[in-house]
Structure 1
Amino acid sequence: MVVSKVDKYLDEHNIFWFKINRPEKRNAIDYDVMSELCEAISFVSRNEKIRAFFITGEGTKSFCSGGDLSIFHALHTKEEAYEMLSRMGETLYSLCTLPVPTYAIINGTAIGGGCEIAAACDVRIAYSDSKMGFVQGNLGITTGWGGASMLMEKVTHPHAVMMLNSTKVYTAKEAKELGFVQRVISEEQLPLLHEEVKASSKVLRSYKQAIIMKWKQSQLKQRMLAEIEQCSILWEMEEHHQAVRSFLEGKK
């Protein structure tokens, strides 16, 4: 039996849930998940009854571990890397500018690209035992999906620099102190998250337009693509390929 890599559904509160369902891969992103996320964003954008978009991962161990290196390590050149990175970057910009409020429900570890997905959302709510960090520097690359540009829109400049440059993995409490996480909850509080969005769809979408206008004026998309270009240059360097080989060999 083929198990779907994502679960998508609209709940009784007209909140659309997108759950990455690859727990055996720590809910890593591959091309199939990319496509599913893009389709879900398009669906929510068109359906005016939907009041919010929640993204999470299957289980309680991992929200998302970023890109699936067992697949993406086959990309060697700048051009190959840019094709994949820009595809996901465009998707995350669409998530960032989705006309409804977006919430990352961080239900476990969120590292690398997982943190970039979280940064694309308006609000980040984390389980108390979750951990998160922009660890891309450990692989000889920068954020590859536009995450740094989005992070700098969500936290103060000094805190963004700290999170990016240190490659540190933070606890949920520490991430809240930095302003990256807005609420820390227990798993038992998950059914109550619909209370975060009590207003009508029209009101919620009107509020979201205000911030979308700001991001368009500040050319967020162009900044993200420039960031992705820089990552693709580093991607083809031997430092990155050696770091990925060491990582994959360490998992065997």
Structure 2
Amino acid sequence: MSYNNILSEYQNGITTITINRPKKLNALNTETIQELHDAFDEANNDTDTKVIILTGSGEKAFVAGADISEFADFDVNEGTKLAAQGQELLFDFVENLSTPVIAAVNGFALGGGLELAMSCHFRVASTNARMGLPETSLGVIPGYGGTQRLPQLVGKGRAMEMVMTAGMIDASQALNYGLVNHVVEQEELLPLCEKIAGKIMKNSSVAIGKAIKAINANYKDGKDGYNVEIKQFGECFGTEDFTEGTSAFLEKRKADFPGR
């Protein structure tokens, strides 16, 4: 599939999706959000893809935010629809993929960019990364899940401060907050993400997908995460990966998971 605003490349079990609007600092517009949805959907349905890495083109930005020119003149109904559609099409969609998604945060991740990184399953940042939710400086609030995911990751007080001040934090502070898992020099960013992906790919993709579902359930209203865990745990016993994993352990060999 060809795209105007993103690049999608598969190699050795990893699909790397790159937001490719460097002149706009990879800002998210409607077309880019749709293309990202399509690329994630395609990678998630590709049985050869075991891990997805998301990053931005160039050295300045992961995603510097949303394309404000698209919604500057929206009314209440249009603004509500913008947030609802965006969350469903991309941000919630990414969070609930069964394929692990790693955000490789290179440079600015602001507004919708940080919200997109937070919808990924975890984040790795370069030392020049800067993150924030500046929406209140524009007279609006984060609308793509930022008010929900940020406190889940960094705690209520820190999230309140970041949203209210509309300020940025650097990579070191993001690591201290638990917003990112690792910080490395920019040239080491993708290699580290690929190294982590390699570790993930040694394990059962079926079990990982079920683990994602169980972990996410803890953060969803009306869901009992323990019951979801019990159900997903039980379902593992009916998979070929479980048979292979337990057999390999008992036979003292490395497992070769079929992914079924």
Q: Which TM-score applies when normalising by structure 2?
A: 0.77
1:123 is aligned to 2:122: yes
Give the AA of the match of 1:95.
V
* Secondary structure at 2:218 match in 1: helix
- 1:153 match: 152
**Conserved in 1, the CA contact under 8 Å of 2:135 and 2:166?**
yes
- 1:7 match: 7
**How far is the alpha carbon of 1:193 from its aligned partner?**
1.9
**Conserved in 2, the CA contact under 8 Å of 1:120 and 1:147?**
no
Pairs within 5 Å for 1:13-24 = 14-24=13-23
Pairs within 5 Å for 1:29-178 = 29-73=28-72, 75-90=73-88, 91-178=90-177
Indicate how the Cα distance of structure 1 residues 218 and 155 shifts in structure 2: closer, same or farther if over 3 A, else same: farther
- 2:209 match: 205
Q: Which TM-score applies when normalising by structure 1?
A: 0.79
- Count residues with an aligned counterpart: 216
1:195 is aligned to 2:195: yes
**Conserved in 1, the CA contact under 8 Å of 2:102 and 2:193?**
no
CA distance in 2, matches of 1:121, 1:192: 16
Indicate how the Cα distance of structure 1 residues 128 and 167 shifts in structure 2: closer, same or farther if over 3 A, else same: same
Indicate how the Cα distance of structure 1 residues 122 and 64 shifts in structure 2: closer, same or farther if over 3 A, else same: same
Runs of 4+ with >6 A deviation: none
What is the identity percentage for the equivalent residue pairs of Structure 1 and Structure 2? 28
**Conserved in 2, the CA contact under 8 Å of 1:51 and 1:100?**
yes
**Conserved in 1, the CA contact under 8 Å of 2:53 and 2:193?**
no
CA distance in 2, matches of 1:119, 1:195: 21
Residues 195-218 of structure 1 show CA distances to partners (whole Å, capped at 9, x for unaligned) of 213133234323222213334455
Indicate how the Cα distance of structure 1 residues 152 and 49 shifts in structure 2: closer, same or farther if over 3 A, else same: farther
**Conserved in 2, the CA contact under 8 Å of 1:131 and 1:169?**
yes
Larger radius of gyration between Structure 1 and Structure 2: 2
CA distance in 1, matches of 2:128, 2:92: 28
Residues 160-181 of structure 1 show CA distances to partners (whole Å, capped at 9, x for unaligned) of 2222222111111111111112
**How far is the alpha carbon of 1:78 from its aligned partner?**
0.9
**Conserved in 2, the CA contact under 8 Å of 1:51 and 1:204?**
no
Pairs within 5 Å for 1:223-242 = none
- 2:253 match: none
Residues 28-58 of structure 1 show CA distances to partners (whole Å, capped at 9, x for unaligned) of 0111101111112222332343222211110
CA distance in 1, matches of 2:174, 2:195: 22
Indicate how the Cα distance of structure 1 residues 184 and 87 shifts in structure 2: closer, same or farther if over 3 A, else same: same
Indicate how the Cα distance of structure 1 residues 48 and 150 shifts in structure 2: closer, same or farther if over 3 A, else same: farther
**Conserved in 2, the CA contact under 8 Å of 1:18 and 1:56?**
yes
Instruction: State the structure with bigger RCO (CA 8 A, min sep 6), 1 or 2.
Output: 1
* Secondary structure at 2:66 match in 1: coil
**How far is the alpha carbon of 1:69 from its aligned partner?**
1.3
Give the AA of the match of 1:11.
Q
CA distance in 1, matches of 2:81, 2:130: 29
Residues 89-140 of structure 1 show CA distances to partners (whole Å, capped at 9, x for unaligned) of 1120011111122211110111111111111112111110111111111101
Indicate how the Cα distance of structure 1 residues 77 and 5 shifts in structure 2: closer, same or farther if over 3 A, else same: same
Give the AA of the match of 1:84.
L
Give the AA of the match of 1:6.
I
CA distance in 1, matches of 2:101, 2:3: 26
Give the AA of the match of 1:28.
A
**Conserved in 2, the CA contact under 8 Å of 1:17 and 1:55?**
yes
Residues 202-250 of structure 1 show CA distances to partners (whole Å, capped at 9, x for unaligned) of 343232222133344556xxxxxxxxxxxxxxxxxxxxxxxxxxxxxxx
